[in-house]
């Protein structure tokens, strides 16, 4: 099953997906990554005391930090947070930087939404990305195109797994220089 967090990695460079799924390399991540993880943990801790009034959503239940998988969709992942409403589910992701979320970030959220949609059989039309400690957020209206693009990436990842051969990459120098797999690729510049 494909972990949803690989969507962003795939958009960054398809080879990362290969290294992640098909080799046992355990990379040493740079400091920013652990900062991101710390932020995530902190948010999850703080969640317990939140009321989420700012979102103006009439929810029945909150799902937090819960793992889901779906055999038919062939995807899995841990949902940061989601509102379970009468007729819809709304996934929420935390980001530790303020700038506008990238498309790959949005697609990742689409993956979590699709998992929840299947699990709870409720519609999925919007999502939030929270980017600050005092709950500032971006609202994203999910379209057909989002879902189509998401499934296209899943198909490409499935192909990488099926082929079991290091894929080509057009990642440029600025990406590769910060990549923990640079020495394993060894063909970049």
Partner 1 sequence: MKHIIVNNYGMFLGLKSQRLTIKQDGSIKNEIALNRIKTIQVLSRGISLSSDLINSCSQRGIKIFFNTFNSFSALHTLYEHKSVMVRKYQFEKCELIEGLELARTLIIGKLKNQRATLLYSSRGFENEFKHNVIEKFDKSISQLKNKKDISKDFILGIEGVSASYYFEYLKSMELLPRSFKYRTKRHSEEITNIALNYGYAILFNFIYKACINAGLEPYYGVLHSVRSAKPSLILDIMEEYRSFVVDRNVIKLRSKLSKTKAENFDKIKKELATNILKTLSKKYKYNHRKLTLESIIQRQVYKVSGYFCSQNKYKSYIFRW
Binding stretches for ligand SF4 (CB under 6 A): 13, 15-16, 169, 171, 175-176, 179, 181-182, 185, 188
Q: Is 119 in the site for partner 1 (CB under 8 A)?
A: no
Sole window of 6-14, 67-75, 125-133, 164-172 interacting with partner 1 (rule: CB under 8 A): 164-172
Distances (CA, A) of 7 to 14, 27, 104: 9, 18, 7
Residue 13 binding target from partner 1, ligand SF4, none, CB below 5 to 8 Å by type: ligand SF4
Q: How would you label 89-114 residue by residue, b for 16+ Cβ within 10 Å and e otherwise? A: bbbbbbbbeeeebeebbbbbbbbbbb
What is the nearest approach in angstroms of ligand SF4 to the Cβ of residue 186? 8
Q: How far is 178 from 13, CA to CA, in rounded Å?
A: 12
User: Binding string to partner 1 for residues 15 to 34, with x set by CB under 8 A, is what?
Assistant: -------xxxxxxx-x----
Strands 2-3 and 59-70: unpaired
Residue 134 binding target from partner 1, ligand SF4, none, CB below 5 to 8 Å by type: none
* Cβ neighbours of residue 12 closer than 8 Å, sequence gap 6 or more: 104, 171, 175
Taking the least distance from each CB to ligand SF4, the nearer of 10 and 124 is 10
What is the nearest approach in angstroms of ligand SF4 to the Cβ of residue 12? 6
């Amino acid at each position: 099953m494909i972990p949803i967090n690989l969507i962003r990695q795939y958009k960054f460079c398809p080879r990362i997906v290969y290294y992640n799924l098909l080799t046992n390399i355990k990379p040493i991540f740079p400091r920013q990554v652990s900062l991101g993880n710390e932020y995530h943990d902190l948010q999850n801790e703080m969640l317990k005391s939140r009321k989420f009034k700012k979102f103006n959503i009439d929810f029945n239940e909150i799902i937090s930090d819960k793992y889901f998988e779906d055999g038919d969709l062939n995807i899995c992942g841990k949902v940061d947070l989601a509102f379970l409403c009468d007729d819809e589910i709304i996934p929420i992701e935390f980001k530790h930087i303020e700038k506008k979320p990238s498309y790959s970030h949005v697609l990742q959220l689409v993956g979590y939404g699709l998992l929840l949609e299947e699990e709870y059989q409720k519609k999925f039309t919007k999502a939030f990305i929270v980017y600050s400690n005092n709950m500032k957020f971006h609202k994203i209206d999910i379209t057909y195109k989002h879902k189509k693009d998401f499934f296209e990436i899943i198909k490409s990842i499935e192909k990488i797994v099926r082929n079991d051969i290091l894929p080509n990459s057009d990642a440029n120098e600025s990406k590769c220089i910060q990549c923990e797999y640079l020495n394993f690729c060894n063909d970049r510049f």
